Amino acid sequence: MDVFSHGLWGGIAFGRRRKRDFWAAALLGMLPDLVPFGPFFLMALLGIVPLHFGGPPSLDNIPQFVFSLYSVTHSLVVFALVFGSVWVWRKRAYLPLAAWGLHILVDIPTHSTEFFPTPFLWPLSSAHVNGVPWSHPFIFFPDVILLIVLYVWFFKIKGGWKANGKQI
């Protein structure tokens, strides 16, 4: 899925309790893509790697570290270890962090083998799903519509965070 949708899904799924949790969940929902691709886009802007407009960049132009970081941030194994460690450390789960796990689950069926299939069992296995790319209208438009419906429901019908008695 695209990085903004990941943020919006993370926020609405795990940030409904209070505003602070929403922003944390939205950020944690986007980080799995921002961590590997952020430095790459910075390099493209600085002219270190070719800048590409319209459509995904050619895989040949993407540095190896992007693939390595992508494997780490898109692994349910790594996520479970971090989520569990944070749980043990805090003595309770940190719910906004679950947005990271949701990111991986959403990516599994929305990436094809041609462009960054989701290595959800890395480093134990290279298993992945040949899904339908999120840019396909079949995925893209239902995603946008569903997000609009959910956000209207949360803010207009449920009353947003205020309904929980806490605004921050």
Q: Given the rule CB under 5 A, which residues bind Zn ion?
A: 32-33, 107
Minimum gap (Å) between residue 52 Cβ and Zn ion: 18
What gap in Å lies between CA 78 and CA 120, rounded to an integer?
9
Which amino acid is residue 130, in one-letter code? Answer: N
Which of 5/21 has CB closer to Zn ion? Answer: 5
Residue 127 beta carbon to Zn ion: minimum distance, rounded to whole angstroms: 16
Residue 63 beta carbon to Zn ion: minimum distance, rounded to whole angstroms: 17
CA dist 136 and 36 (Å) reads 23
Q: Closer to Zn ion at the Cβ: 10 or 32?
A: 32
Give the residue among 108, 85, 83, 87 at the shortest CA–CA distance from 98.
83
Cβ 82 to Zn ion, closest distance in Å? 16
Q: Which amino acid is at 121?
A: L
Give the DSSP letter of residue 132.
-
Residue number, 21 or 107, with CB nearest to Zn ion? 107
Q: Which is nearer to Zn ion, 33 or 161 (CB)?
A: 33
Quote the least distance from Cβ 5 to Zn ion, whole Å: 10
Cis preceding linkage at 123, omega within 30: yes
d(CA 78, CA 83): 9
Instruction: Give the residue with the Cβ less far from Zn ion, 25 or 154.
Output: 25
CA 18/CA 79 separation, integer angstroms: 23
